[in-house]
Structures are given as structure tokens and as C-alpha cells.
Amino acid sequence: MSSPMMNTFVVYVENKPGVQTRVASLFRRRAFNIDSLTVGRTEKPEVSRMTITVDADRDQARRIEANLYKLVNVLLVENITNQPAIVRDLAMIKVAATHEARSHVLELASVFRARVVDVAPESLTIEITGAEDKIDGLLEVLRPYGVLEMVRTGIVAMRRGTKAVTATAAGTGYAQVATDDDVSYSV
Amino acid sequence: MTKTGAEILWECLEREHVTTVFGYPGGAILPAYDALKHSKVHHVLVRHEQGATHMADGYARASGEVGVAIATSGPGATNMVTGIATAMLDSSPIVCITGQVGSKLIGSDAFQETDITGVTLPITKHNYLVTHASEVARTIREAFYVARSGRPGPVLVDITKDAQQTSCEFDWEAAKPQLPGYRPDLSPEQAEYEQALELIKNAKRPVILAGHGIIISGAMKEVRDFAERTGIPVALTLLGLGAFPASHPMNLGMMGMHGEAWVNHTIQEADLLLAFGMRFDDRVTGTLKTYAPNAKKIHVEIDPAEINKNVKVDVALVGDLREVLNELLPHVASVDRSEWLDYIDRLKGDAAVRDIQNLPDNGHLYAAHVINDLWRETRDSDSIVVTDVGQHQMWEAQYYKHDRPRSLITSGGLGTMGFALPAAIGAKVARPNAEVWVVVGDGGFQMTMSELATIVQENLKVNIAIINNGFLGMVRQWQEFFYERNYQATPLLNPDFVKLADAYGIRSMAVKQRSEVVPAVQSARGHDGPVLINFKVEQEDTVYPMVAAGAALHEMIRRPSPIVETASDE
């Protein structure tokens, strides 16, 4: 048995009412622990795309994939845990920043390539996009100044390279999955 | 052609070859009932919506066709929940149609509004909310396709009142299912077949675990050919009974919690398990830590999500069982397994020749005798036994020897008390020429006995054998073994079942002596209407052997002595 690890699934679903509930309900019913679930539109209006991260060992990950496929509205499931992929989370962090602390906070934001999106007399709001650990890192150094409020979107992920995974509501079955050649490693 | 949503509904059901639906009307489904007068579909009025779903389920299991239940919104729909969950756990293809409040009222807590698609989300294979007449045709077609294909299961279609009432253009051809993500037709890779064949070739102590999937797939002949060609013996799950003839010399019998000891020992000592259309339920494995520890496992299963769920397998052949076996059959050779088969015969020992018919009559009536006599009387006819849940269900599985598929209908996965009587009605409607027997406990019978009226109303020849021990027998047995005989809430106060049947105009009799069993069964068979027999059996009788929950499969509580069939023989 392999040890539990964070798995990232990209799930294409039909863009219909209630589909997100079906997916979330599946994870609850089978007692799989979702760490993050995001959903949004894709380049095709009839298809929505979910990024789901879940703590699971290898066998559990296979069962999650099989169970997702049992949902009639699920078009394609890809476990990209061990694939080259761009993984991004977005956070907005409101930090207490009074006169003397303000320059320190701005400096830290700049080190993390975060943007200041709101300035108030007693606080700064910082927006940061990046991998989860980068956001965790910024949060860590901001905490001593006083984090007043924070929100994170949960992660979205996309495989690197030009070949895209395609799933359409017109019916694809198992679509061509991108191979690892022509992968670009730009940041 | 322009039709209302309600008219489209019935037309689509007819086109899906539905001849009978089981239902109960109410406000939100009234437009559909109004349109029924133009339809050829026969509507069976039930007495409770749970009954309608069990009838649809029994219909599906007896025939292999999709069963249909219909109910109104709110309480009508929620009453279906137990029946839907029952069908889900046993992979039974049913379509449940519910009325819903008008689409403008959804979310307003309107009278009799329930979010039934939300409620049934985890217990349906798929479900739909239909809010426009134009969606009715395609949804019904998809519902039937999803229910019957792949691993079958229940599909619920919730149709708002306005979707039933408004009109739209109806075009059956144009309403083809659109299910881009649905893949019911998987098949294994060549390499997986080769791995399986290698394991089969090298096995010294193999055993086939035969499940419900054989019957669903229609692979009875293929399994038989496989067993005969390879010389591999067959153990069955509860829902697998009938998939492989009980009278066949390669048949070991039922496995699991109340399986015979030699069957469980065979599995524990095997070096290869061939799981055919079964899912390693906890009732057949006992604790997984010690389950068949030395066996390689081949899992032939249509549902990929079942692979490695409970038991880690070495080779998974994901696909339709019949197709998979047809691929394997030309490549399996006959191997001499006499040493293994002789060993199993020695495991059987005295138990295999135990003949309960010849036990002296000690004045007590035992359920095992009742069921064994029933089997002897009905074995040559096209009989269907529909059992409920509890001790009588296990005794039936042990003492009624099923040779044909679809001759036993029972709630295995969910263990739904109250299932038998309505499911038998569905079975009789599906196969009017079959001899249908309900074998039911006095507890379960009282959960759905209101459907006695449905039997009379539909003029159905259904025979009912109540195995009446005055207890919730299986719960009492657990209390006896695991709760120091603290019989809390298990003794039952029962009505006079004979008088009850009489009130419905059903012929009935009570049996207290062993010598009366066969004459009662014969008399019931000879009567051309429904008959109820109240078998007043030994009160504190026990189902042996038993694997305690969480115990290893080979650690069974055995019969106190080989000759005493049943408990205390004072």
C-alpha cells in the first residue's frame, strides 16, 4: 500500500445544474477528504472544469477516478498529480499595517511578487497568485503584523505543453491525453 | 405532433416496452394520471409508495426488464426512498417517476414540495429534474438506458406539474439519449486476459465466487461451462443463488456469514479466487485482515469502482461477465484438481449428508423443515421464492435449493424488511405463469402487509408463508450470542394473521405441526387465489453456522451438535 499524498484531479463535467453537487456528494458519501474544489467555465460553453485536490493513497486515487466516472455527467477525469502542471491558488490577505509596519509589509509583498490591491489607514490588502506553498509562505511572514481577513480560491491546475485535453459534451469518451514532449517549463 | 408532457410520458413508457407501472396518485402527478386514460399501460394502485418501488424492483428482478414506479411529490416521493436504496444496493434496474410542484414554486417550500433529486442523489444511479415538457421524452429515454445498461440501478425522474401540463412538439427519434460522459461498455485489455489465464492455469486450489452479476449478465451457461471445463468448484453469494444450479456436483453452496462451514473453509484455504459478478460485501468476507490470505484474486466485474474497494485483487477484468467468460473459455484447459475436490469433500464430512427430513419429529415445528418441504413440493415447477430479511431469509437460502436464475428474489445489500410481499407482487406481474411464494417473517410482514389489498385488487395468485416465531428473530439471535440474551424490543405482539387474511378475503390457515406442512403447501398450490399460511415455528431457533460481525470467515459459531438441526431440543 502506498502512503497518502495530495492528489490533483482535473475533472471535466457537463455544464448543467446540480453537477457540482453530485461531485461534492460523491466525495462525502465515499468518505474521501476534499482539500480543495474549484469549478469554472472552459473554452467550451457546454463543459465546466473542476480542479479537485484530495488526500489519498494510490489505490484510493484510482477508486476516486472510477467513482467520478460513474457519475453520468462526468466527461473526463485526469489525475495530474505526477504530471508537469501549472498549479495556482489566489489569495487576498488583509493585513494590519499601521504607520511603522507599512513599509515592512510592502517590502514582503514585493519579495513575494504580490500586489497591493487596497490601501486603508490601518490596513493593506494584498493579492497573491501562485502555488499553495508560496501563499502559505507569505501568510507565515505576514502573520506577526496581524492578518485581519483572508480568502483563498482553492487551486486551479493545467498541464504544461501545447497538447490540450479535450472533452466536449458532443461525446469524446477517453480523449487524447497530452504527452510529455513539447513541455514548456517557463514560470 | 403536439402533446402535453403527461401524454409524452406515457407514450415514451409504451415505447420503452412498459406494460405495467406501480403507483399512487397525488396532486403534483395528477396531470400524468389524467393522461393515463389514453394509455395502454396498466396501472397497479399500491397502498404505500414504498410498496410501489419494491414491486418495480421485484418486477425487474423476475424479468430482467426495467420496473417502473410512480408517485406524487413530497411524501409520495420520500416514501420511495427505502425502495430506491434497496434497488441501488442490489443493482436492480427501476425507473421512479415523481410529480413535483410547479417549476415557479420550486424552492418556496410549497405544499408537498421536497427536493427529491437532492434526497435521492446518493441512492440513485442517476436522477433528473424535468421542468419543461420538451425535456420529458429525452429524459425518459435516458433514464431507461441508464437504468438497464452497465451495472443496472435505479433512476429517478422528477417532473414538475407544469412540465406535465404544457404542450410541445413530440418527436421520439429526435429525443435520442445524449450521455457523452456515460460509458457502460468497458472491456478488459488483452494483457489482463493473459494474466488471468496464467493464474488459472497455475492454481492448485481455485474456487469460483458466483454473484448476482451472473444473473444480470445472463452468463449462467458460460459460468457452468467454465466450471465444468476447468473443474473449479463454485461458491455462491446470497444474490448469486440460482446463477449456478444447486444440484450441480460442482456447487458448494452459499458462502459468508451464514454459509456452510465447508464453503467458507474452502475460500479461506484457496490459492485462487475467481470472483464473477460479486463485490466482496462484508457479509461474505468476514474480517478482511484474514480473508483468503493465500489466494490470488481475479475480479470479473462491470463496475470499475468495485475493483480493490474491499479486497485487493491481482487481476481485474472490467467488463460484461458473459463477454469476458466467452473470451476466456476457449483458452482454459481441463486440469486434474481431484486432490483439491477430495479435500473439500472431506471438509463437508457429515454435514453434507445431514438429512433434516429424517430427523425424528419431536413435536416442534422448525423453519428449516417448512422451507425444505416447500422446496420439495415446488422444485419441479417454475417457482419464484421472494424472501424478506432475517432468519427465514437465511434458512430459505440454506434449505431451498435453487436450480434456476431469478427463482430467488431477496433484498441482499440493503437488507430491507418489508421487501418480500410487494416484491412478490411485482414478480407475479412480470411472470404471471410462475408459482410465486412469499417467505417472510412475522416482523417484516407487518411492515408492508397493507399490500395484501393490492394482491386481492389485482387478483394475483401469490402464496404467502409467514415464518412466525413471535420474535424479530435475527435480532434476537444477535442478542442471544452477543448481548447476553437481553431480548430488548424483539418479542412481537402479532395480530391473528389468519383472521387478517380473512378480512382481505384471502384464504388462510395456521400450521403448528410438522405433519401439517406438506398438506398446507399442497392445499395452497391447489387453490386458484392467493393463500396465506401462518407457520407457527419454534420461537428461539437459531441460524447456524454464523460468522460473527468482524470475525474471520473460518471462525464460525457451529451447530451445537451435528444431528441437532436447531437450537434447544428439550
A174 is a domain residue: no
pLDDT of residue B112: 98
Among candidates B122, B181, B309 on the partner chain, residue whose Cβ is nearest the Cβ of A29: B122
What class is the B190-349 domain? alpha beta
What class is the B357-539 domain? alpha beta
Same-domain status, A50 and A96: no
pLDDT tens, residue by residue, B452-498: 999 999 999 999 999 999 999 999 999 999 999 999 999 999 999 99
Among B111, B176, B481, B482, which one carries the catalytic annotation?
A: B111
Q: Is B281 helix (H, G, I), strand (E, B) or coil?
A: coil
A158 is a domain residue: no
Q: What count of Cα atoms within 13 Å lies in the side-chain half-sphere of residue A78? A: 25
Q: Does any CB of chain A come closer than 8 Å to the CB of residue B129? A: yes
Q: Does any CB of chain B come closer than 8 Å to the CB of residue A70? A: yes
Q: Does any CB of chain A come closer than 8 Å to the CB of residue B176? A: no
Is B394 assigned a catalytic role?
A: no
pLDDT, average across residues B437-449: 98
All residues of chain A having their beta carbon less than 8 Å from the beta carbon of residue B312 are: 59
Among B7, B11, B16, B49, which one carries the catalytic annotation?
A: B49
Q: Does any CB of chain A come closer than 8 Å to the CB of residue B172? A: no
A13 is a domain residue: yes
Same-domain status, A33 and A101: no
Same-domain status, A76 and A10: yes
A177 is a domain residue: no
Measure in Å the smallest separation between the Cα of B279 and chain A Cα atoms: 14
**Beta-carbon count within 10 A of B544 CB:** 20
Q: Verify whether the Cβ–Cβ distance A69 to B304 is below 8 Å.
A: yes
CA angle B230, B231, B236 (to 5 degrees): 105
User: Quick one: closest CA in B to A18, which residue?
Assistant: B118
A36 is a domain residue: yes
- Does the pLDDT value for residue B240 go beyond 90? yes
- Does the pLDDT value for residue B264 go beyond 60? yes
| CATH assignment of the domain containing A121 | 3.30.70.1150
pLDDT of residue B163: 98
All residues of chain A having their beta carbon less than 8 Å from the beta carbon of residue B304 are: 66, 69
Q: Does any CB of chain B come closer than 8 Å to the CB of residue A25? A: yes
All residues of chain B having their beta carbon less than 8 Å from the beta carbon of residue A29 are: 122
Cell 419441479, located at residue: B380
Is B221 assigned a catalytic role?
A: no
Q: Verify whether the Cβ–Cβ distance A75 to B122 is below 8 Å.
A: no
Q: Verify whether the Cβ–Cβ distance B182 to A29 is below 8 Å.
A: no
A vs B: CB pairs below 8 A:
52
Q: Is residue B8 very low, low, confident or very high in pLDDT (cuts 50, 70, 90)? A: very high
pLDDT of residue B559: 78
Domain that holds residue A119: 86-152
pLDDT tens, residue by residue, B279-300: 999 999 999 999 999 999 999 9
- Percent of chain B predicted with pLDDT > 70: 97
Q: Does any CB of chain B come closer than 8 Å to the CB of residue A63? A: yes
User: Is the CA virtual torsion A126, A129, A132, A134 positive or negative?
Assistant: negative
Is B457 assigned a catalytic role?
A: no
Q: Verify whether the Cβ–Cβ distance B312 to A59 is below 8 Å.
A: yes
A172 is a domain residue: no
Cell numbers standing for residue B441: 417473517
Q: Is residue B359 very low, low, confident or very high in pLDDT (cuts 50, 70, 90)? A: confident
Q: Give CA–CA dist A172/A176, Å, rounded.
A: 9
Is B512 assigned a catalytic role?
A: no
All residues of chain B having their beta carbon less than 8 Å from the beta carbon of residue A22 are: 121
Q: Verify whether the Cβ–Cβ distance A63 to B126 is below 8 Å.
A: no
What is the domain count for chain A? 2
Residue B442, Cβ density class (10 Å: 0-12 exposed, 13-18 middle, ≥19 buried): buried
**Is the distance from CB of B295 to CB of B273 less than 8 angstroms?**
yes
Looking only at the bridges linking them, the beta strands covering A123-130 and A85-96 are: antiparallel
A79 is a domain residue: yes
Domain ranges of chain B: 2-175, 190-349, 357-539
Alpha carbon of residue B239 to chain centroid:
6
pLDDT of residue A164: 66
Same-domain status, A71 and A120: no
Selection from B166, B142, B129 nearest residue B7 by Cα: B166
pLDDT tens, residue by residue, B300-330: 999 999 999 999 999 999 999 999 999 999 9
pLDDT tens, residue by residue, B185-205: 899 999 999 999 999 999 999
Residue B417 vs residues B233, B413, B442: alpha-carbon distances, Å: 32, 12, 10
Instruction: Please name the amino acid found at residue B556.
Output: M
**Is the distance from CB of B211 to CB of B268 less than 8 angstroms?**
no
Report the CATH superfamily, name and number, of domain B2-175. Answer: Thiamin diphosphate (ThDP)-binding fold, Pyr/PP domains (3.40.50.970)
A175 is a domain residue: no
Q: Does any CB of chain A come closer than 8 Å to the CB of residue B551? A: no
User: Quick one: closest CA in A to B151, which residue?
Assistant: A70
Q: Give CA–CA dist B9/B140, Å, rounded.
A: 7
Q: Per DSSP, which regions of B115-266 are E strands?
A: 126-130, 155-160, 167-169, 206-210, 234-236, 251-254
- Among A83, A111, A139, the domain-final residue is A83
Same-domain status, A31 and A51: yes
pLDDT of residue A131: 92
User: Quick one: closest CA in A to B142, which residue?
Assistant: A72
Among candidates A63, A67, A74 on the partner chain, residue whose Cβ is nearest the Cβ of B181: A74
Q: Does any CB of chain B come closer than 8 Å to the CB of residue A31? A: no
Looking only at the bridges linking them, the beta strands covering B167-169 and B155-160 are: unpaired
pLDDT of residue B69: 98
Helix then strand then coil, in percent of chain A rounded to 5, is 25, 40, 35
**Is the distance from CB of B131 to CB of B102 less than 8 angstroms?**
no
**For residue B143, what are the contacts with CB-CB under 8 A and spacing of at least 6?**
B95, B126, B128, B155, B157
**Is the distance from CB of B479 to CB of B426 less than 8 angstroms?**
no
pTM passes above 0.90: yes
State the complex-level ipTM: 0.90
Q: Is residue B354 very low, low, confident or very high in pLDDT (cuts 50, 70, 90)? A: low
Among candidates B122, B181, B309 on the partner chain, residue whose Cβ is nearest the Cβ of A63: B309
Q: Is residue B560 very low, low, confident or very high in pLDDT (cuts 50, 70, 90)? A: confident
Measure in Å the smallest separation between the Cα of A7 and chain B Cα atoms: 18
Measure in Å the smallest separation between the Cα of A171 and chain B Cα atoms: 4
User: Quick one: closest CA in B to A17, which residue?
Assistant: B129
- Among A53, A83, A113, the domain-final residue is A83
All residues of chain B having their beta carbon less than 8 Å from the beta carbon of residue A72 are: 125-126, 146, 179, 181-182
- Among A48, A83, A118, the domain-final residue is A83
Q: Does any CB of chain B come closer than 8 Å to the CB of residue A58? A: no
| CATH assignment of the domain containing A49 | 3.30.70.260
Instruction: Please name the amino acid found at residue B358.
Output: N
Q: Give CA–CA dist B145/A73, Å, rounded.
A: 14
Q: What count of Cα atoms within 13 Å lies in the side-chain half-sphere of residue B183? A: 22
Q: Is B368 helix (H, G, I), strand (E, B) or coil?
A: helix
A 95-114 near B (Cβ less than 8 A) = none
Same-domain status, A9 and A79: yes
Q: Enter the DSSP assignment of B434.
A: S
pLDDT tens, residue by residue, B361-412: 788 899 999 999 999 999 999 999 999 999 999 999 999 999 999 999 999 9
Q: Give CA–CA dist A63/A80, Å, rounded.
A: 15
What is the block-wise mean pLDDT of chain A (187 residues), using blocks of 10 residues? 86 94 94 92 95 93 95 95 93 93 94 95 96 95 96 94 64 39 35
Cell numbers standing for residue B9: 410520458
Q: Does any CB of chain A come closer than 8 Å to the CB of residue B146? A: yes
Cell numbers standing for residue B71: 408517485
